[in-house]
Amino acid sequence: MLIDKRKKRERKKKSIRSKIRGTAEKPRLTVFKSCKNIYAQIIDDDKQVTICSASTQDKDLAKKAAGQCNIDFAKKVGQALADRAKKKKVTTVVFDRNGYKYHGRIKALADACREAGLKL
């Protein structure tokens, strides 16, 4: 069953990525989640460069997270990512949910980015 779940997500991911592309003006915000952590990064697909990233394993968030990633920590990661994006002068991004449902931690991260000033 786990393999089927991964295959489904990979299929959704390919479908989403065929329609979404990050540019210099509007880079792509992509999310990856595991059982213990959540990772987010803003990518310029034209140059194939990561502009900025944030995760629960960052030094400032890792001490507080202690191996547990829930909705509260996803919000903190979204806030940190938005702050880093503002420093790099990125205001608008394309959201790539990476095959995950727009629910729970993914939604919390996206909402925190919006509240911090990023346009998704």
Strands 94-96 and 49-55: unpaired
Categorize the per-residue pLDDT at 6 as very low, low, confident or very high, splitting at 50, 70 and 90: confident
Check residue 1 and give its pLDDT. Answer: 62
Domain boundaries, the chain: 2-115
> May I ask the CATH architecture of the domain 2-115?
2-Layer Sandwich (3.30)
pLDDT digits (tens, 9 = 90+) for 59-80: 888 776 666 678 999 999 999 9
Specify the pTM: 0.88
Asked whether the beta carbons of 45 and 28 are under 8 A apart, the reply is yes
| Burial of residue 101, with CB atoms counted within 10 A of its CB: 0-12 exposed, 13-18 middle, 19 or more buried | exposed
Q: In sequence order, which residues have a C-beta less than 8 Å from that of residue 107 and are 6 or more positions away?
A: none
Structure tokens at 41: 């990064």
pLDDT digits (tens, 9 = 90+) for 29-55: 999 998 888 999 999 999 999 999 999
Average confidence score pLDDT of the chain: 90
